[in-house]
């Protein structure tokens, strides 16, 4: 599993892990049944304290993205059917929420906002979603 930490992104590390795993699962990069590295393993790789990883993992489990097997490491949970698509929407909505409230505060019309988003979707660019 590949996790890239951007140390000067301002985002807390555990959240970066959280989001990247969530995103990779939603996007199909991590498939149901795939194992996640142990907390200590990932912590060592990223040069972090295991607790930091543990907190991210704990929340992932709580969200149902990942499942705990008895004595073993975490595995990506198999979503049933439409659940995967729902999760993708959810993931997108998460990123879109701030934009929506920004649009409201700017007093922009719904149609205008949608049009701006349509253009953004059409525009192909290297921005990978991390501010």
Partner DNA sequence: ACTGGTGTATATCTGTAGTGATACAGTAGT
Partner DNA sequence: ACTACTGTATCACTACAGATATACACCAGT
Residues that bind a copy of itself (CB under 8 A): 15, 19, 22-23, 25-28, 88-89, 91-93, 95-108, 110, 112-114, 116-123, 125-131
Q: Is 94 in the site for DNA (CB under 7 A)?
A: no
Q: Is 40 in the site for DNA (CB under 7 A)?
A: yes
Q: Which stretch binds DNA (CB under 7 A): 22-30, 52-60, 98-106, 112-120?
A: 52-60
Name the binder of 119 from a copy of itself, DNA, none, CB < 5-8 A by kind.
a copy of itself
Q: Is 66 in the site for DNA (CB under 7 A)?
A: no
- Annotate the chain with DSSP letters as a single string: ------TTSSS-HHHHHHHHHHHHHHTTSSPTTPBPPPHHHHHHHHT--HHHHHHHHHHHHHTTSEEE-SSS-EEE----THHHHHHHHHHHHHHHHHHHHHHHHTT--HHHHHHHHHHHHHS-----S--
- For DNA, the binding residues (CB under 7 A) are 12-15, 38-41, 48-52, 54-55, 57-58, 61, 68, 70-71, 73-74
């Amino acid at each position: 599993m590949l996790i890239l930490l951007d140390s000067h992104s301002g985002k807390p590390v555990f959240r970066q892990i959280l989001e990247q795993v969530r995103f990779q699962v939603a996007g199909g990069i991590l498939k149901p049944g795939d194992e996640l590295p142990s907390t200590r393993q990932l912590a060592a790789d990223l040069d972090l304290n295991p607790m930091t990883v543990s907190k991210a993992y704990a929340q992932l489990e709580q969200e149902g993205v990942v499942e705990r097997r008895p004595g073993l490491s975490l595995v990506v949970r198999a979503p049933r059917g439409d659940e995967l698509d729902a999760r993708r929407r959810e993931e997108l909505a998460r990123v879109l929420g701030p934009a929506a409230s920004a649009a409201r505060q700017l007093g922009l019309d719904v149609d205008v906002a949608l049009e701006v988003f349509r253009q953004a979707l059409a525009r192909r660019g290297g921005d990978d979603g991390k501010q």
